[in-house]
Amino acid sequence: MSFKFTIIIPIYNEKDNLKRLEEELLAFIQTSTITTKVLLINDGSTDESQISIESICNRNKNFSFLLFDTNYGLSTALKAGFDYTDTEFVGYIDADLQTSPKDFNSLLEHISTYDLVTGVRKNRNDGFIKKISSKIANSIRRAFTNDGMDDTGCPLKVIKTEYAKRIPMFRGLHRFLPAMILLQGGTVKQIPIQHFPRLAGTSKFGITNRLLGPLIDCFAYLWMKKKRIHYKVSKQQL
């Protein structure tokens, strides 16, 4: 089968979510009009996630995995996912299922027109502290990047793979994917999506890495933006 869409799923200590994750991904794949495969990226989990991952991949031919030797973080997992993707489009969703694979359909409707389509979490099912810290962090990023995104950290995105592979990755970059597409001259669109409470496992982000981390990363983004190499060829004879 020729696939057009790869879904990347970074996983770190999510063993209690993986069975339900498999079921929801299969439900999306069976109803989607685009041929889809799944890449599970185990970011050095210390629980029994890898046992479940290998079982899932063994019983589903369009599922595969990468296992890191230690925990590198979300941005590194996304970088690896982009590196190993060979389809026209690449998507990203968290393993905690606070967003639904079904909403990929809403994003995919626009990917032929735009180079990145991202979700915007409406009616967020998070606690007050988590919601307010994310709101502040999003405001900080918008001020630095001017990307116009209301929810740049939303863990549901679809990107044209040629753009994803050109992103110069660094730690914390998962917070700047729309801005990095805009730097390439690409186009972005945001679509309202569903948001659900976490039913199992624990969040990997707290106030420190939701507020202090994004602020530091904004300065790294500005440095990268100033120093990046970018060119367009107007004519060639090779």
Give the start-to-end residue ranges of the domains of the chain: 5-227
CB proximity list for 26: less than 8 A, separation 6 or greater: 60
Edge-to-edge strands, sheet with 188-193: 63-67, 36-42, 5-11, 89-93, 156-160, 116-121, 188-193
pLDDT tens profile 25-39: 999 999 998 999 999
**What DSSP element (H or E) covers 36?**
strand 36-42
CA–chain centroid gap for 149, Å, is 15
Closest by CA to 194, choosing from 119, 96, 95, 91, is 119
Cα 213 to Cα 72: distance, rounded to the nearest angstrom: 15
Cα 67 to Cα 85: distance, rounded to the nearest angstrom: 15
pTM value? 0.82
Position 62 scores a pLDDT of 96
pLDDT tens profile 80-126: 999 999 999 999 999 999 999 999 999 999 999 999 999 988 876 55
Cα 165 to Cα 171: distance, rounded to the nearest angstrom: 16
Burial label, 65 (beta-carbon count in 10 A; 0-12, 13-18, 19+): middle
CA–chain centroid gap for 67, Å, is 18
Q: Which fold has domain 5-227?
A: Spore Coat Polysaccharide Biosynthesis Protein SpsA; Chain A (3.90.550)
Residue 88 Cα distances to 61, 109, 171, 173, angstroms: 19, 14, 25, 22
